Amino acid sequence: MPEKSLTELLAATLPQALAQEPAVASALERVRELEQRASTLAAQQAFLERAPREGLQFPGDALKLIDAAKLADLDAAYAELRRGRPWLFRSAASPAAEKLALAAPEIERMREAVKHGALSRGVQALRPIKRVRS
């Protein structure tokens, strides 16, 4: 059973004749507007808190691109952003994988050097000499 809103609770507690008064009706309308604004702000806060875990680079800008009604379901909102605007998200690679990708040419050059013996002579010169005792 869905929880009743504050506006519904106030309207239910007021007598019917009093609820029809223009001043009371406008006050109830204002309470409803404030309640909707509070729920929108709570949904926006939840969106912004989840943004780092999703890899969103510019959460404030992304929030402007989403309809406030769609923020009720954050999974759907992020899925729609990923599908429609993938450039807003960082790559799925971890920071360590990104560093390795940057160093890949240097690592490959070192592997080639080892294959051709360029590094092995230097390593052998630094090794202690094991002598056979007679």
Nearest to 7, CA basis, from 30, 39, 38, 23: 30
Q: Are 113 and 119 in contact (CB under 8 A)?
A: yes
pLDDT, one tens digit for every residue, the chain (134 residues): 467 887 888 788 888 777 778 888 888 889 889 998 998 999 999 999 988 888 888 888 888 888 877 888 888 888 898 898 888 888 765 666 667 667 777 777 777 776 666 555 555 555 566 666 66
pLDDT of residue 1: 47
**Domain ranges in the chain?**
1-90, 92-134
104 SS3 class: helix
pLDDT of residue 124: 58
Looking at residue 106, its amino acid is: E
Nearest to 75, CA basis, from 54, 93, 45: 54
Both tokens assigned to 55 = 């890899």
